[in-house]
Amino acid sequence: MSAIYLVRHGQANFGSADYDRLSPLGIEQARIAGEALRTRVPVVHAVISGNMQRQTHTARVCLDAMGFPEQTLLGDGGFDEYDHVDIVDRFMDRAAMGAALNAASDRMRAFEDLFSQGMNRWQSGAYDGEYRETWSAYRDRCLAALDRVETALSGSQTALVFTSGGVIAAIAQSLLDFPQSRYAPFNWRLANAGISKIVCGKSGRFLATLNEHGHFEGAHAKFLTYR
């Protein structure tokens, strides 16, 4: 059976004008994840990343920590994250959202609540014509990207995929068949530089592990983040 490890990118610059960039903490998270994978995955047959900067940077830092600095990194836009700006803008005027967040006692919790509402609107399908990419199109491209990786592997080969929380959540939702209404809350709970493992064989594929982040326990507990 082959194995596909889905690695979420390290912490990005949440709330900044240039979100698609790892924070200093995100770089350290990628390094720690690489150290954790070094003994688990001594041989890598394929490494794939989405085309976003935070994904490819995580891949390079992680591979360096694993001892594979020269490993070929293949880009696949199917593993790119959804357009969160488009989802927010179609749901609420930015000025109105800013006012709501400024009035909240817990800005992060308030943002999560508002963004979840925006996600529900996007996923409903009732407003598909307004979005650059519909929910169904997004989910289908995530699953198609996973199909491409599995098809490229043979025997007991292993692949690393560096992607984002939304992609991992979409794949998990398909494999675990949990309700679509739980997608956004599920997505929020995925750790930065967390690791999920999919095993593929003749009988199909299954999610062997999900959102592993034991490498951020003990001495590394201070590096655990979700945003």
Q: Give the pLDDT confidence of 35-44 residue by residue, as tens digits.
A: 999 999 999 9
Amino acid 75 reads G
CATH of the domain at 213: 3.40.50.1240
Q: What is the pLDDT of residue 217?
A: 96
Beta bridge partners of 200: 2, 205
Residue 153 has pLDDT above 60, yes or no: yes
Q: Give the model's confidence band at 119: pLDDT under 50 very low, under 70 low, under 90 confident, else very high.
A: very high
Asked if residue 201 belongs to a domain, the reply is yes
Whether residue 216 is contained in a domain is answered as yes
Domain count, the chain: 1
Q: Please give the full DSSP string across 91-154, using - where no structure is assigned.
A: HS-HHHHHHHHHH-SSHHHHHHHHHHHHHHHHHHSTTGGGSSS-HHHHHHHHHHHHHHHHHH--
Does 215 reside within a domain? yes
List the domain range (segments joined by +) for residue 54: 2-81+154-223
Cα 159 to Cα 41: distance, rounded to the nearest angstrom: 9
Please report whether residue 87 resides in a domain. no
Query: What's the pLDDT score for residue 220?
Result: 96
CB half-sphere exposure, 32, CA atoms < 13 A: 27
pLDDT at position 14? 64
Please name which of 20, 29, 66 lies closest in space to residue 194, comparing C-alpha atoms: 29
Confidence (pLDDT) at 16: 56
Percent of the chain at pLDDT exceeding 70:
98
- Give the pLDDT band of residue 23 (cuts 50, 70, 90): very high
Quick check: 213 pLDDT over 80? yes
Name residue, tokens 């935070």.
54
Quote the CA–CA distance of 169 and 219 in Å, as a whole number: 28
The whole-number pLDDT of residue 166 equals 97
At 102 the pLDDT is 87
The predicted structure's pLDDT at residue 113: 87
pLDDT band, residue 95 (cuts 50/70/90): confident
> Taking the CB of residue 106, how many other CB atoms lie within 10 A of it?
10
pLDDT over 90 at 206, yes or no: yes
Say if CB 90 and CB 133 are below 8 A apart.
Answer: no
Could you tell me which residues come within 8 angstroms of residue 193 by beta carbon, excluding any fewer than 6 positions away?
7, 8, 9, 10, 11, 26, 29, 30, 32, 33, 58, 62, 213, 215, 216
Q: Is residue 172 part of a domain?
A: yes
Phi, psi angles (nearest 5°) of residue 211: 55, 40
125 close to 135: Cβ distance less than 8 angstroms: yes
Confirm whether 18 is domain-assigned: yes
Is the residue at 17 inside a domain?
yes
